[in-house]
């Protein structure tokens, strides 16, 4: 695993609140595949992930 930090301009954003996800230990990712295409949903914390599912 790399110790380097991703820059804010290259960091993913939370699917729910659009916060830039830089060095958040609570960062969560859900990957789904459909017909060979993979889509990643990033969440800054459990609360945003929960909001997405409801």
DSSP 4-42: PPPPTTTS-B-TTT--B-SS-TT-EEEEEEETTEEEEEE
User: Tens digit of pLDDT for each residue in 13-37?
Assistant: 999 999 999 988 889 999 999 999 9
The pLDDT mean for the chain works out to 91
User: What is residue 20's predicted lDDT score, i.e. its pLDDT?
Assistant: 93
Q: Which DSSP state fits 45?
A: S
Residues 29-49 have a mean pLDDT of 96
Q: What percent of the chain has pLDDT over 70?
A: 93
């Amino acid at each position: 695993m790399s110790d380097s930090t991703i820059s804010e301009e290259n960091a993913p954003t939370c699917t729910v609140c659009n916060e830039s996800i830089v060095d958040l230990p609570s960062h969560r990712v859900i990957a789904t595949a459909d017909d060979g295409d993979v889509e990643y949903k990033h969440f800054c914390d459990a609360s945003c992930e929960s909001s997405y599912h409801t």
